[in-house]
Structure 1
Amino acid sequence: MGVVPPTADHPDADAAAAAGAASAPASTPTDRPTDRPTDRPTDEVAEAADPPALAALRRRALGVLTELAPAALELGELFRAAGHELALVGGPVRDAFLGRVSADLDFATSATPDESERLLARWGDAHWDIGRAFGTIGAMRREGRGGAEVVVEVTTYRTDAYDPTSRKPEVVFGDSLEGDLSRRDFTVNAMAVRLPDLVFVDPFDGLADLAGRTLRTPVTARQSFDDDPLRMMRAARFAGQLGFAVDAEARAAIEEMHERIRIVSAERVRDELVKLLLAPAPRPGIRVLVETGLADHVLPELPALRLEIDEHHRHKDVYEHSLTVLDQAIALETGSDGPVPAPDLVLRLAALLHDIGKPATRRFEAGGGVSFHHHEVVGAKLAARRLKALRFDKDTVQAVSRLTELHLRFHGYGEGAWTDSAVRRYVTDAGPLLERLHRLTRSDCTTRNRRKAQRLSGAYDDLEARIAVLREQEELAAIRPDLDGQQIMAILGVSPGPLVGRAYKHLLEVRLDRGPLDEDAAREALLAWWADQPEADGTR
């Protein structure tokens, strides 16, 4: 496979593709060299590697690793002095070759958990048991007075055994780094650097796959995914996070085994889905989910959006439209000081799911048209049901469902004049979701008709301007009735109870319809409503 430059689907894969500046092809699984550069200093391996792309990656990694916290290198010295091996493994090594400094430092060791704990107690300012049964001990140390904290996790070598009927492995401690690396999910995560000498270990040619931007499993894909089906979700996640392609063997295994994801807990599946959606460009990963069949179990509403397009093109492909809306919503997220800081999970979920009510509401009309009446209402219910099944928190479920329900509210604004009352209702109905609704509504315009797109954009500009004016005039975000609960009870001569809530709600409706009222006008409106209530007779 050649080294592929960034594409529109992978706009943030620059670091991974930097090696592609040299266009030499990376090795494929069928033509990998037999003299793999394993267990050699990173600078020596850089000189020995044939493809210039690999040499470039190694030089970049050496620059990152030489800046590794001195405390981490000291930890390597400490373990070696005690007769144990210690190696930096997994994501931090991969990230070093991508030119990124990882905040998480994960190590593998030949030491037992008890031995690791004793050494970490000597090294760190604090240490803790993360999962002794799994061999993992954590520790923290500060680099100098007032310096940054160095947090590490050290895990004993493992060669886990798996029961096909269970999602939990039987933890078996191993005796070699290579054996430990063989149980990793993908070759790009199965590389290590021995400390303190920075010796690079790559038994499965992960660096070649990194240069080729390929996701391949260290062992056979079928065995890897059978051992831990969640790795299929990770394939989709890394496709989105790194812009890497899933290799043919792994993809075929997912297509064959996607039903195995059912034995994985909803919480673990959710966590991988969240990591995918929060990636800079999640679209490629979502495609992996849908095209391999994983989404049939994780987000079945998504593949259902692939509606057939007949020869008359009577409606657009809702699935592709939803992916485009997601891309456009991401582009509208703000910096950390803006109203919708990136990455925003609620906005991204709403963008992806906003049209999931369409398959259930699709109707072919006389004359060849297609309608999806009330799909926003149906979609809101479907979104809430799916997110609850995936164990999302209540606030996220409610926010995504509400945005789905409101995403069509704007349509028609440019065709008929909205009163100030309608604008107020738009704002109050959106509540704290207003800024997200602005972005979702704008993103939902995917038409190729430039004139139509400009008209919709201009209409929404006008709506936002009106909202700003009303907000300045009326403190729109904090609209309240013109009388509070105490005043309502005093005027009506009633005690606290549901009746006061009904009166309060009525006055809020009056406030939205008529704008601010003085106390006399509000009192008159309250008494007019009260005259029609059955409880009024009991107070006369």
Structure 2
Amino acid sequence: MAHLFDGSVPHPPLPGVIPQLGEMFQAAGFELSLVGGPVRDLFLGRVSPDLDFTTDARPDDILSVVRGWCDAYWEIGREFGTIGMRKDGFQIEITTYRAEAYDPESRKPVVAFGEKLEDDLYRRDFTMNSMALRLPQLELVDPFGGVRDLHAGVVRTPGAPSSSFSDDPLRMMRAARFASQLDVTVAPEVFDAMKDMAGRIEIISAERVRDELVKLINGRSPAAGMDLLVESGLAGYVLPEVAALKLEMDEHHRHKDVYQHSLTVLRQACEQETGPDGPVPGPDFILRFAALMHDVGKPATRRFEPAGSVSFLHHDVVGAKLTAKRMKALRFDNDTIKAVSRLVELHMRFYGYGDAGWSDSAVRRYVTDAGPLLERLHRLTRSDVTTRNRRKAERLAFAYDDLEERIAKLAEQEELASIRPDLDGSQIMELLGIRPGPVVGRAYRYLLEERMENGPASPGEAEAKLRAWWQEQPESRQETGEAELNKTEENS
């Protein structure tokens, strides 16, 4: 075992809360170790704001030590041996040594408290997370070669992978997430176990699967993590629409490899993200997931044309529906579902602009339909260009540059981000002398259409257009007839 400060282990400065806790638990007669991800992060040169500790103390004993020291504490995980707390801006969890397993037919862990640090480390997911730092002496405990595997960039399990994945099948997705976050590969025996046990992921709740998926997509190399999900068979259970792209390989090469194209678009979308002060700060899950899912409608819409070509008519619309359905199954919130599926639906809208050009009204519709997603749509559309034909790529890039310039010029003249009719609902009712109802909605949509087609109009022009439209409506003629009838009755 190595001492963290013996010079052989480079690391950033330890936050003061770590040795403080070690001394407090030692004084109370208990063991305490920093464990898991925070220890791994020290070898990666960073300190996480979330600190995990393990101890031989039971939950009641943990509380007796930290009361009065921490800023706040909570007991939500008490039945699993975990007490959470906050101190000096750090989120801290202290957990009693334990052994944890899943019943083969259950989603809930069966918890038994352990007695030894080494036993606790053995039950953890991967060797790079099975390291501990004994406190307060700062002694590194690494019984399964976590430092070795971390430096080698390989994901291994402390024991047999099949036993680890049987205990918690979500660990298979976590391996793919590590491939994305840490640029590591999985050991052959780990990959084989993932393939053999992929179906076990079905016992895990949709919410936990979703959370791992979000972390994977937001990692440094999401395409690598996703490829591992697909190749292992896990994607067939958690993202079958992406797995279907792999099955859609065209052995006659009549169209491009949609699966590899989607991974390339995902990589390029990551490169399109901006810094924290830009319009699309990375990592941006909505942009990235839309990039991954943008072509999932192709397998259902593929048609072989008489001339030998292949078409995917309306794959954007079909893909948007499939994306929304999958995200609902994974329990995403409605706003995220709407944003991602809308981007998938709009990703083909630009094509054709470079050949025929668009009227100002078409540009207005593009901006209005994208709404707050416009900056993401810009980046998704640019990311979707993966052709190796340099001339074609340059032509598409030039065309999109031109579209963005036109949007900017129109935005200087008009409020493109919030296009509204030149008259609102109250003005419509006042001018036409009508009450709230469907007719007001029709009039509003008519004026919005006029605004899209012709740009902003003066109040007088908008009123003239509205009155001319009103004369063509059956309700106008009905009201005129009733007025004439009333006048006749009054004269008689």
- For Structure 1 versus Structure 2, the TM-score category normalised by the shorter chain is over 0.9
Whole-angstrom distance in 1 between the partners of 2:17 and 2:243: 49
**Could you tell me which of 297, 316, 320 is aligned with 2:256?**
316
> Within 1, Cα distance between the matches of 2:91 and 2:335?
31
Q: Which residue of 2 aligns with 1:59?
A: 9
Residue 328 (structure 2) pairs with residue 388 (structure 1):
yes
Contact 1:234 1:272 in 2 (8 A): yes
Instruction: Look up the match of 2:31.
Output: 85
RMSD: 1.2
In the alignment, what sits opposite 1:296?
Answer: 236
Q: Gapped runs of 5+ residues in structure 2? A: 481-492
Aligned partner of 1:286 in structure 2 is 226
**Corresponding residue for 1:22?**
none
| Residue 59 of structure 2 corresponds to residue 113 of structure 1 | yes
- Aligned-partner residue type, residue 217 of structure 2: L
CA distance in 2, matches of 1:308, 1:328: 22
Is the 1:347–1:436 Cα contact (8 Å) retained in structure 2?
A: yes
Question: Aligned-pair distance for 1:99?
Answer: 1.1
- How many Å apart are 1:393 and its aligned residue? 0.6
Aligned 1:155-234 pairs, distance under 5 A: 155-234=95-174
Aligned to 2:19: 73
The aligned counterpart of 1:132 is 78
Distance (whole Å) between structure 2 residues aligned to residue 70 and residue 205 of structure 1: 27
SS at match of 1:529: helix
1:307-364 C-alpha deviation (Å, 9 max, x unpaired): 22334x2110000000000111110111111111111111011100000010111111
Deviations 1:390-427 (A, max 9, x none): 11110111111111111011000010121111111110
C-alpha contact (below 8 Å) 2:254/2:310 kept by paired residues: yes
Pair 1:520-2:460 in alignment = yes
Partner of 1:3: none
Match of 2:483 in 1: none
Residues 116-141 of structure 1 deviation map (CA, whole Å, 9 limit, x = unaligned): 01111142232222311111112223
Matched AA of 1:346 = I
Q: Residues 132-180 of structure 1, C-alpha deviation per residue, up to 9 Å, x if partnerless? A: 11111122233xxxxxx23321111111243111121111111011111
Displacement of 1:529 in angstroms is 2.1
Q: Tell me how far 1:240 sits from its aligned partner.
A: 0.5
Q: Write the distance in 2 (CA, Å) between the matches of 1:266 and 1:162.
A: 16
8 Å CA contact 1:380–1:402 kept in 2: the answer is yes
**Contact 2:179 2:221 (8 Å CA) reproduced:** no
Q: CA deviation at 1:43?
A: 4.8
Cα separation, 2, equivalents of 1:436 and 1:43 = 46
**Residues 1:425 and 2:365 are matched in the alignment:** yes
User: Which stretch shows the higher mean deviation, 524-533 or 502-511?
Assistant: 524-533
Q: Does the CA-based 8 Å contact 1:160-1:183 persist in structure 2?
A: yes
SS class of match (2:102): coil
Q: Which moved more, 1:133-142 or 1:459-468?
A: 133-142
CA distance in 1, matches of 2:209, 2:243: 17
Secondary structure (helix, strand or coil) at the match of 2:9 reads helix
Q: Identity, % of aligned pairs?
A: 62
1:268 to partner: Cα distance: 0.5
Separation in 2, partners of 1:383, 1:525: 41
Q: Is the 8 A contact 2:371 2:417 kept in 1?
A: yes
Equivalent residues in 2 for 1:497-536, closer than 5 Å:
497-536=437-476
Q: Give the drift of 1:100.
A: 1.3
Runs of 4+, deviation exceeding 4 Å? none
* Equivalence for 2:400: 460
Corresponding residue for residue 141 of structure 1:
87
Q: Find the counterpart in structure 1 of residue 422 from structure 2.
A: 482
CA contact (8 A) 1:221 1:249 kept: yes
Q: What amino acid sits opposite 1:112 in the alignment? A: R
Which residue of structure 1 aligns with residue 488 of structure 2? none
Q: Give the corresponding residue for 1:361.
A: 301
Instruction: Give 3-state SS (helix, strand or coil) of 1:165's partner.
Output: coil
* Deviation of the 1:365 alpha carbon: 1.0
Match of 1:259 in 2: 199
Q: Please state whether the residue corresponding to 1:301 is helix, strand or coil.
A: helix
Indicate conservation of the 8 Å contact 1:188/1:206, yes or no.
yes
The residue matched to 1:302 in structure 2 has which SS? helix
Question: What amino acid sits opposite 2:363 in the alignment?
Answer: V
The verdict on how the C-alpha distance between 1:141 and 1:308 changes in structure 2, with shifts beyond 3 A counting, is closer
SS of match in other structure, 1:513: helix
In structure 2, what is the equivalent of residue 24 of structure 1? none
Runs (5+) with no aligned partner, structure 1: 1-37, 47-57, 143-148
Whether contact under 8 Å (1:75, 1:123) holds in the other structure is no
Partner letter of residue 309 of structure 1? Answer: D
TM-score, with structure 2 as normaliser: 0.95
Q: Distance in 1 between matches of 2:426 and 2:68?
A: 64
**Quick one: distance in 2 between partners of 1:150 and 1:403?**
37
Is the contact between residue 493 and residue 539 of structure 1 (CA under 8 Å) also seen in structure 2?
no
Distance 1:536 1:114 in 2: 77
Q: How many positions carry a matched residue from both structures? A: 479
Identify the structure with bigger relative contact order (alpha carbons < 8 Å, sequence gap 6+): 1
Asked whether the 8 Å contact 1:69–1:150 carries over to 2, the reply is no
Report what 1:237 is aligned to.
177
- Asked if 2 retains the 8 angstrom alpha-carbon contact of 1:354 and 1:404, the reply is yes
TM-score for the superposition, normalised by structure 1: 0.87
